[in-house]
Amino acid sequence: MIPFNKPYLTGYETKYIEQAVALGKLSGNGFFTKKCQQFFEENYGFKKALLTSSCTDALEMCALLLNIQDGDEVIMPSYTFVSTANAFVLRGATIRFADSETDTPNIDASKLESLINKNTKAIVVVHYAGMACDMDAIMHLATKHGLYVVEDAAQAIDSYYNGKRLGSIGHLAAFSFHETKNIISGEGGLLAVNDIQFCERAEILWEKGTNRSAFFRGEIDKYGWIDIGSSFLPSEVTAAFLWAQLENIEKIQNKRKEIWHFYNDALQELSHKKCVLLPKVPDYATSNGHLFYILCRSQTERARLIQFLKEHNILSVFHYISLHTSPYYKDKYTGGVLENADRYSETLVRLPLYYELEIKEQQHIAASIKKFFST
Ligand SMILES: *Cc1c(COP(=O)(O)O)cnc(C)c1O
């Protein structure tokens, strides 16, 4: 069976973990944490980068930093992972779900203005499949209405909007290093701060509401409890694992993009015959090889395709169920039908994409999909 995902190991993970153990400091914010954070601050242009235990944690930090309170409203796409919404719901926010674009699962910027009112605090965008949302339109709208923008860049490492790195455009951004993402540490994430007004407080929330980081830098002579916070930082074991991946990011990215392009080329013919829709990459966006999806013509066709591929030893999977229709939120949802989000919920299927997926396997997958649509 060709799995849907297989975590890739560079071979240096255990070596760096041994090194972290030998250094004798295994809690967070040590040698490897600093190396990883410096990597992002230097190469990605973030004002501050803080490793977290997950992208979910980084999103929860965003909600805390923006002081989200009961009754505040946050706009985000319905077609996304639960954590995008949960982080803000935990602070008492009401979520205003927006539809996806017709051509991509990303939030439709043209549908946002009607959702904004005096309670609106923030817009959270999700760069689905690592492909950029229409950031100029979204930032313009946010500036006009005095709103903050958070980028859920969980899938968007090393991807760009008009040459700008995703995660560096909104006021805050969150990345994931979960084992299903491009760069991994088992569980893991990163908070990126682009608006300097949040830098100092981000570090305090991260260290349980204390100014311990400033103390360790020698900036103050004792530290204490000065704000709310939690333990968002990962241990050095996780950071050491992540460093082995970051050192090889170019190699990993090149391979994933190569596989993405293989699928995109191999399935053009089916797209011309209108059997499937392939991912649309807007002019301002890039693909970072995070995931490759195709859109079937109906939910039943998708179910048959997934079953057919299974019979050919290929595991393909669908993705999100729109959050506005979820058991938890459907009774709270007061908006209208989100037809694009629902269409992606029903027709999108993801193909296996991982570093070690061999060319023979890629060919077998493409051939099997073609066979399905020829019968
Ligand atoms: C993976 C993912 C998350 C959650 O990441 P974790 O690191 O598992 O918390 C959040 N949002 C999106 C869009 C994701 O793809």
- CB of residue 145 inside a 6 A radius of ligand 1: no
- Asked if residue 99 lies in contact with residue 112, where contact means CB atoms within 8 angstroms, the answer is no
pLDDT tens digit sequence for 178-225: 999 999 999 999 999 999 999 999 999 999 999 999 998 999 999 999
The reply to whether domains 13-246 and 249-374 share a CATH topology is no
Q: Is the pLDDT of residue 100 over 90?
A: yes
Mutation to probe ligand 1, out of 50, 80, 90, 178 (largest number of atoms < 8 A from CB) = 178
Q: pLDDT band for position 39 (50/70/90)?
A: very high
pLDDT of residue 2: 98
State the average pLDDT over residues 137-162. 98
Q: How confident is the model at residue 276 (pLDDT cuts 50, 70, 90)?
A: very high
User: Does ligand 1 come within 6 angstroms of the Cβ of 322?
Assistant: no
pLDDT at 303 over 90: yes
Pocket test for ligand 1, best of 80, 155, 176 (most atoms within 8 A of CB): 176
Distance CA 323, CA 161 (A): 26
Query: Average pLDDT of 90-117?
Result: 98
> pLDDT (tens digit, 9 = 90+) per residue, 54-84?
999 999 999 999 999 999 999 999 999 999 9
For ligand 1, say whether the CB of 288 is within 6 Å of any of its atoms. no
pLDDT at 176 > cutoff 90: yes
Q: Following DSSP, what letter does each residue of 295-349 receive, concatenated?
A: E-SSHHHHHHHHHHHHHTTB--B-----GGGSTTTTTT--S---HHHHHHHHHEE
Measured in residues, the chain has a length of 375
Residue 273: the pLDDT is 97
Q: Which atom of ligand 1 is nearest to the CA of 177?
A: 7
CA of 269 to the centre of ligand 1 (A): 33
Pick the CATH number of 13-246 from 3.40.640.10, 3.40.50.2300, 3.40.50.970, 2.40.50.100: 3.40.640.10
Counting from 1 in the atom list of ligand 1, the atom nearest the Cα of 155 is: 15
Distance from Cα 55 to the centre of ligand 1, integer Å: 5
Range of lowest pLDDT (118-127, 191-200, 211-220, 307-316)? 211-220
- pLDDT for the residue 375: 83
Under DSSP, the state recorded for 128 is G
The mean pLDDT of 18-43, rounded to a whole number, is 97
**CATH code, 249-374:** 3.90.1150.10
Domains of the chain, by residue range, sit at 13-246, 249-374
Average pLDDT over the chain reads 97
Q: Do 131 and 157 meet the contact criterion of CB atoms below 8 Å apart?
A: no
- Give the residue, by CA position, lying nearest to ligand 1 atom 1: 154
Please tell me the distance between residue 276's alpha carbon and the centre of ligand 1 in angstroms. 27
